[in-house]
Amino acid sequence: MFISDNSSTVHKKVLKKITEVNQGVAFPYGNDPYTKHATEMMQSLFNKDTDVYFTINGTSANVIGLSALMQSYESVICAESTHINTDECGALEKYIGAKISSVEHNHGKINVQSIEKFLLDKGNEHHNQPKIISISQCTEFGSVYTPEEIKEIADFTHRHDMYLHMDGARIANAAVSLGISFNEMIADTGVDLLSFGGTKNGMMMGEAIISFRPEVTSNPKFIRKQGMQLVSKMRYISAQFIAYLEDDLWRDNATQANSTAQYLAKRLTEIPEIEIKNAVNANMIFARFPQEIIDKTINKEYYYLMYPLENVVRMVTSYNSTKEDVDQFIDELQK
Amino acid sequence: MFISDNSSTVHKKVLKKITEVNQGVAFPYGNDPYTKHATEMMQSLFNKDTDVYFTINGTSANVIGLSALMQSYESVICAESTHINTDECGALEKYIGAKISSVEHNHGKINVQSIEKFLLDKGNEHHNQPKIISISQCTEFGSVYTPEEIKEIADFTHRHDMYLHMDGARIANAAVSLGISFNEMIADTGVDLLSFGGTKNGMMMGEAIISFRPEVTSNPKFIRKQGMQLVSKMRYISAQFIAYLEDDLWRDNATQANSTAQYLAKRLTEIPEIEIKNAVNANMIFARFPQEIIDKTINKEYYYLMYPLENVVRMVTSYNSTKEDVDQFIDELQK
Amino acid sequence: MFISDNSSTVHKKVLKKITEVNQGVAFPYGNDPYTKHATEMMQSLFNKDTDVYFTINGTSANVIGLSALMQSYESVICAESTHINTDECGALEKYIGAKISSVEHNHGKINVQSIEKFLLDKGNEHHNQPKIISISQCTEFGSVYTPEEIKEIADFTHRHDMYLHMDGARIANAAVSLGISFNEMIADTGVDLLSFGGTKNGMMMGEAIISFRPEVTSNPKFIRKQGMQLVSKMRYISAQFIAYLEDDLWRDNATQANSTAQYLAKRLTEIPEIEIKNAVNANMIFARFPQEIIDKTINKEYYYLMYPLENVVRMVTSYNSTKEDVDQFIDELQK
Amino acid sequence: MFISDNSSTVHKKVLKKITEVNQGVAFPYGNDPYTKHATEMMQSLFNKDTDVYFTINGTSANVIGLSALMQSYESVICAESTHINTDECGALEKYIGAKISSVEHNHGKINVQSIEKFLLDKGNEHHNQPKIISISQCTEFGSVYTPEEIKEIADFTHRHDMYLHMDGARIANAAVSLGISFNEMIADTGVDLLSFGGTKNGMMMGEAIISFRPEVTSNPKFIRKQGMQLVSKMRYISAQFIAYLEDDLWRDNATQANSTAQYLAKRLTEIPEIEIKNAVNANMIFARFPQEIIDKTINKEYYYLMYPLENVVRMVTSYNSTKEDVDQFIDELQK
């Protein structure tokens, strides 16, 4: 139920749009009017020139996008807990050939002090050259960077001839959590490259690579194709984005997920043996469960036992999570 | 209209199945019952042990699959015209790091005589070691290998410690053209690895990597993930395959495409200035058009001007092409 | 003077052997009698079947060797301080495409407890699969693993279907420090793959990849060639190894370096403001120097200022370092 | 004897210089005065700004150099017979990830007409983008491009936003054959990147990457290090180049090789059953030998049986080949 937002269905408006575009001939590989429209909708979210490329999943959005901004002898600096570092089976190392240098973090968030040591490597051919700082928004621990925090990292990044990448697999949940627009959170703070996620928030499959530095990104369209990520019947990806951006469906979905997470957090506090480990900013809750509860509920698909040695479980709410789901879950736990 | 089978819509049965699975929680990344069912349906097509992995597009099916069967210092031998050689922006060279050695072909088909010269490289560290022979069925020129031809290549391949890969982007059209089962065409002839295509024949997006040598393929699941090809909400791919294989929808679709191509070929012969360049075995027609006709119709999305210098156009029929489409096209040409 | 053992000359016996082989025609690319002889000399160091491949530098010995033992979706686990992790500009990530997972260490040495957490990743396609444990002998901090420590790591490695790699850039200094044979230190303890270094101990350029698992290493000769590491006039590498192994020149050289390091350590203790940071097991000393001394001597090429923020310098003695060199250096420091 | 110029010894002046630099401490990795001097000597050969990087062998000079000028989604166009295409075990495909597109040739030489077809791929993401034209001087068939021919290719290359690479493994033999300077042959004609070979003409091991476009080459020093090609005791490579360029040793050596080839060609014509297949421009001769002669001499290391099916052998003269060697060989053949 709260295993992952990946376990959810597709929002009915998204599926409806897919059905609507299912007529007539459309040029393949993105040369169709739906893709043009979805691209323009995406661009209109930001007051900046952007290049937008659709892809299928978060791993490819991260890797294909970064491939356009860096060389193999450079490095990506990120929190040890970042998805590109721990959950993509080394896709970045394989495809780009670069090193990921991880730093300590606070519930998934990093700061520029922890990065300064890498500046000593600049110009020294024995070390990968620091080029990208990558942050996740929301982080993998459910925390959310404030615009000020992002701007501080972006300024540091640019001061040292580097670029800032944001892995936005749950970008809508972050925007809703902060109560600000995508533009304020991303373009205004100085993010150079964004992986804009849709799949986890009610789409079927679809992420967007958005470059805020079209003048320096090196030909993402060739990289996407060579990277095996170009979809032929692209209209079915673009249709999802149209539905997702129309009438701010993304906001409604993320609001539902976030507020259900708040409700879930509140109700979990009713069980004294359970300790919530994070500030619940968005749609993820990490909590320490007693062994007895885990033994009885581990096979019921309610949550993911993330750190078995420490009895810490992860719960993720989704666009279609409801208070009733929470109540049912809490009832089960209280048994 | 006949630009490509990629320009077509999704068959309504496929879309219906997607809608049907859109309920409830499903474990992500293929750990759901729909994927299990689709995998078993695929396996039951063949009287052999197989490993089946779903992916998004033909390029990734080819590259991820081959990555499990070869090393970077080995080579793939194929027709100069093969999709992996000419139309995937070098995805194989990038991802596997191996060389593609192309040989001459006859309307897309190769024979073992043209390959023998590469055997001289065996054991010599200065040359990539020949390991894979890759054929397309149908070929990129619309021709179809007979089972006897496939078996001859497979036997040669195995005699020399190599593997046979088949790019089956239009595998259904080939099976219908030959009037035989997938099993007779593929497993019985000795194919080691198949890229089983669905997208061009009425699916939305979905291809399958099928290994007939599960004992030698090296962990495709890790390669697929590291290769950025693992979809989180996999049920929406698997559902398509279920619909595609149920009641032999693949056969109905390919039959419609192939028979419409026959009708189109027949009607094209009514225009004496047009010369058909290939035997129309499946759903592709190559023809030489007079310059005057090209000038008047090039912008009407009827066909793809493949070889501009020679006035040769490609027409591809699809699962939903009709005699009426053909008649309208011929009328237009005759004007 | 003590900047690095890389700064030293070539031992005169090595140069003499190069001169001796400089006559007549020799088949290129290692197909010459000198290479055959050097290979057999190397093999006779161990009571085990081995495959031996010469290469030019330590980075390539590490990367080409490991490339024969692992897949890109697997990982190398090593100390954070390991050369392959920090000083090879990401060569392993680029060439193999795999991830390096670093662990905490004690003066460069790791233990199996720190590795156990990676075993949880086994079988999970989202994470690189742990396959190699790599240790440096001597470590980059000048410490030396005992045979018992190596055996414990090797046993752990094999128990979990992994391989143990040893980066032996200073392998002779380690053997002399322990007072045991290469065989006892390496083959008997269970090392699977060794980068055997010669350059830092009096050779001009030359390292050897030694596989103790010839039955599983995947064709290093092709990997070496494709990896741009095959030298055409190989006899000039092989001659160096012949001189290096004849009459145990390697032992004499390492003994001189190690004993000079002991003398240097002893004399450094005469300067109370200087604090030696490591147990001096082999030919490397790390020490904290007062800022005043650093200011006056930093440009005299005596040492390498390794951690500027902490005033820690590294001194490395070489095969031709003498007590007189030490005395001169200490005099300078005492001024 | 004429198997390859790789089979020869090292010229005594080169060895003498190696011995001369074998004293004192020298900063490693090329930060030594010998490397500075050798680099300046190399640069003074050309009236242009150049970046110079030493490496060990021809394969790495080609691949590391090209890696600084192209992206993986681009392609190298060259003669089918080019070394990078046929004799480097796919090093370029592996390291750069790019495609090599080969064209027909005339005794190893290509012309721009054969390349024009690739221009149609420009901008189309389904095809590797043509970026590099690579020619070998001398070619692998012993022919030599005239400066006019090089200039024509260079002009074509630049007109279409591409770069011209020259594989100069036997560049000295070409310069001597044409009777012109390196500058006239390379810088003046518009070559962008040169692999300057020394090993085949009397050096021990050493090639130079020379970029004539330092403003566009992307950080070769990092690529060389990450590409496992940075030698620690660099002075021993640089010393070779100093000796090689001092007093034009390169010219003396190549003159001896070329003139001996002329003499060999002349004497071969005395044997009527032998047919010389190429114009002998430099130091390589290809000839058809009768089966009877091959049977009797194949094991005597005189030549390399290049095309066994056609009885064509390759003979390569070297810096130390003499008329006496030729006479002895011809005597043997005449027996």
Best B20, B22, B25 member to test A by mutation, with max A CBs in 10 Å, is B25
pLDDT digits (tens, 9 = 90+) for C216-235: 887 899 999 999 999 999 99
Q: Provide residues of A within 8 Å CB-CB of chain C.
A: 72-73, 75, 86-90, 93-95, 97-100, 120, 125-128, 308
Confidence check: pLDDT of D162 > 90? yes
Q: What is the pTM of this model?
A: 0.96
| Local confidence band at B301 (pLDDT 50, 70, 90 cut-offs) | confident
Tell me the C-alpha distance between C316 and C285, whole Å: 6
The pLDDT of residue C127: 97
Do C204 and D228 count as a contact with CB atoms less than 8 A apart?
A: no
Tokens (6 digits) for B135: 């054929």
The pLDDT of residue A217: 86
Cα torsion for D52, D56, D57, D58, to the nearest 10°?
Answer: -10
* Displacement of CA B79 from its chain's centroid (Å): 14
The pLDDT of residue A234: 98
Dihedral sign for Cα atoms in the order B208, B214, B217, B222: positive
Q: Which residue(s) pair with D35 in the sheet?
A: none
Question: Would you list the DSSP string of A124-170?
Answer: -TTSPEEEEEEEESS-TTS----HHHHHHHHHHHHHTT-EEEEEETT
* Displacement of CA D234 from its chain's centroid (Å): 21
Tell me the C-alpha distance between C268 and C290, whole Å: 13
Dihedral sign for Cα atoms in the order A172, A178, A179, A183: negative
Dihedral sign for Cα atoms in the order A274, A277, A280, A286: negative
Average pLDDT rounded to a whole number, residues A134-152 = 97
Dihedral sign for Cα atoms in the order A62, A63, A68, A69: positive
Specify the higher pLDDT residue, C59 or A218.
C59
- Angstroms from D33 CA to nearest CA on chain B: 36
- Angstroms from A47 CA to nearest CA on chain B: 31
Give the chain C residue nearest D88 (alpha carbons): C226
What value does the mean pLDDT of chain D take?
A: 96
Confidence check: pLDDT of C48 > 90? no
- Angstroms from C177 CA to nearest CA on chain B: 39
The pLDDT of residue B217: 86
Tell me the C-alpha distance between C62 and C168, whole Å: 9
Sort out which chain D residues have CB atoms less than 8 A from C95's CB and list them. 94-95, 228
| Local confidence band at A131 (pLDDT 50, 70, 90 cut-offs) | very high
ipTM of the modeled complex: 0.96
The residue ranges of DSSP E strands in chain D, in sequence order, are 51-55, 74-79, 99-103, 129-136, 163-168, 193-197, 207-211, 275-276, 284-288, 304-307, 312-316
The pLDDT of residue A103: 96
- Angstroms from D188 CA to nearest CA on chain B: 33
From C75, C86, C94, residue closest to A72, measured CB to CB: C94
Confidence check: pLDDT of C67 > 80? yes
CB C203 within 8 A of CB C11: yes
pLDDT digits (tens, 9 = 90+) for D90-121: 999 999 999 999 999 999 999 999 999 999 99
Do D97 and B93 count as a contact with CB atoms less than 8 A apart?
A: yes
pLDDT digits (tens, 9 = 90+) for D225-250: 999 999 999 999 999 999 999 999 99
- Angstroms from A73 CA to nearest CA on chain D: 6
Average pLDDT rounded to a whole number, residues D163-190 = 98
Sort out which chain B residues have CB atoms less than 8 A from D88's CB and list them. 126
Confidence check: pLDDT of A218 > 80? no
The pLDDT of residue C216: 86
Best D93, D232, D237, D240 member to test C by mutation, with max C CBs in 10 Å, is D232
CB D204 within 8 A of CB D76: no
Question: β-pairing, A284-288 with A304-307?
Answer: unpaired
Best D71, D94, D132 member to test B by mutation, with max B CBs in 10 Å, is D94
pLDDT digits (tens, 9 = 90+) for D169-182: 999 999 999 999 99
What value does the mean pLDDT of chain C take?
A: 96
Do A125 and D225 count as a contact with CB atoms less than 8 A apart?
A: yes
Buried b (16+ CB within 10 A) or exposed e, C301-327: ebbeeeeeeebbbbbbbbbbbeeebbe
**Considering only CA atoms, which of C207, C148, C196, C205 is closest in space to residue C173?**
C196
| Local confidence band at D143 (pLDDT 50, 70, 90 cut-offs) | very high
Do D219 and A71 count as a contact with CB atoms less than 8 A apart?
A: yes
The pLDDT of residue A47: 87
> For a pLDDT cut of 70, what percent of chain B falls above it?
100
The pLDDT of residue C218: 76
Average pLDDT rounded to a whole number, residues D281-285 = 96
The pLDDT of residue D308: 87
Do A218 and D129 count as a contact with CB atoms less than 8 A apart?
A: no
The pLDDT of residue A199: 97
The pLDDT of residue D7: 93
Question: β-pairing, C312-316 with C284-288?
Answer: antiparallel
From B72, B89, B308, residue closest to D73, measured CB to CB: B89
Q: Kindly report whether the peptide bond that precedes residue B78 is cis, defined as omega within 30 degrees of 0.
A: no
Confidence check: pLDDT of B218 > 80? no
Q: Provide residues of B within 8 Å CB-CB of chain D.
A: 72-73, 75, 86-90, 93-95, 97-100, 120, 125-128, 308
Sort out which chain A residues have CB atoms less than 8 A from B27's CB and list them. 3, 7, 301
From D73, D219, D223, residue closest to A226, measured CB to CB: D73
The pLDDT of residue B16: 98
The pLDDT of residue C47: 86
Tokens (6 digits) for B256: 């419609």
Q: Kindly report whether the peptide bond that precedes residue D78 is cis, defined as omega within 30 degrees of 0.
A: no
Tell me the C-alpha distance between D191 and D152, whole Å: 11
Sort out which chain C residues have CB atoms less than 8 A from B35's CB and list them. none
The pLDDT of residue C316: 97
Do A125 and D218 count as a contact with CB atoms less than 8 A apart?
A: no
Angle at D179 (CA atoms; ends D325, D88), nearest 5 degrees: 65
Confidence check: pLDDT of C169 > 80? yes
Count C/D contacts: CB-CB distance under 8 Å: 135
Angle at A211 (CA atoms; ends A208, A212), nearest 5 degrees: 130
Do B222 and C29 count as a contact with CB atoms less than 8 A apart?
A: no
Best D17, D233, D299, D315 member to test C by mutation, with max C CBs in 10 Å, is D233
The pLDDT of residue B71: 97
Residues in CB range of D265: below 8 A, 6 or more apart:
D276, D280, D285
- Angstroms from C209 CA to nearest CA on chain B: 17
Sort out which chain D residues have CB atoms less than 8 A from C6's CB and list them. 28-29, 232-233
**DSSP-derived secondary structure letter, C317:** -
Sort out which chain A residues have CB atoms less than 8 A from B63's CB and list them. 228
**Considering only CA atoms, which of D178, D171, D148 is closest in space to residue D61?**
D171
The pLDDT of residue A1: 84
Tokens (6 digits) for C266: 């002893």
Count A/D contacts: CB-CB distance under 8 Å: 40
Do D71 and A219 count as a contact with CB atoms less than 8 A apart?
A: yes
pLDDT digits (tens, 9 = 90+) for B34-77: 999 999 999 999 988 999 999 999 999 999 999 999 999 999 99
User: Which chains are within 8 Å of A by 3+ CB pairs?
Assistant: B, C, D
Confidence check: pLDDT of D218 > 80? no
**Considering only CA atoms, which of B126, B137, B127 is closest in space to residue B164?**
B137
The pLDDT of residue D216: 87
pLDDT digits (tens, 9 = 90+) for A225-273: 999 999 999 999 999 999 999 999 999 999 999 999 999 999 999 999 9
From B12, B27, B60, residue closest to A7, measured CB to CB: B27
Give the chain D residue nearest C206 (alpha carbons): D231
Give the chain A residue nearest B95 (alpha carbons): A95
The pLDDT of residue B124: 96
Which CA distances in Å does D59 have to C3, C218, D207?
A: 32, 22, 9
Sort out which chain D residues have CB atoms less than 8 A from A222's CB and list them. 71, 73, 125, 129
The pLDDT of residue D335: 80
pLDDT digits (tens, 9 = 90+) for B262-288: 999 999 999 999 999 999 999 999 999
Do A222 and D125 count as a contact with CB atoms less than 8 A apart?
A: yes
| Local confidence band at D1 (pLDDT 50, 70, 90 cut-offs) | confident
Give the chain A residue nearest B318 (alpha carbons): A25
- Angstroms from D156 CA to nearest CA on chain C: 30
pLDDT digits (tens, 9 = 90+) for B141-179: 999 999 999 999 999 999 999 999 999 999 999 999 999
CB C81 within 8 A of CB C105: yes
pLDDT digits (tens, 9 = 90+) for A167-186: 999 999 999 999 999 999 99
- Angstroms from D265 CA to nearest CA on chain C: 21
| Local confidence band at A222 (pLDDT 50, 70, 90 cut-offs) | very high
Do C127 and A72 count as a contact with CB atoms less than 8 A apart?
A: no
Tell me the C-alpha distance between A107 and A264, whole Å: 19
Confidence check: pLDDT of A327 > 90? yes
> For a pLDDT cut of 70, what percent of chain A falls above it?
100
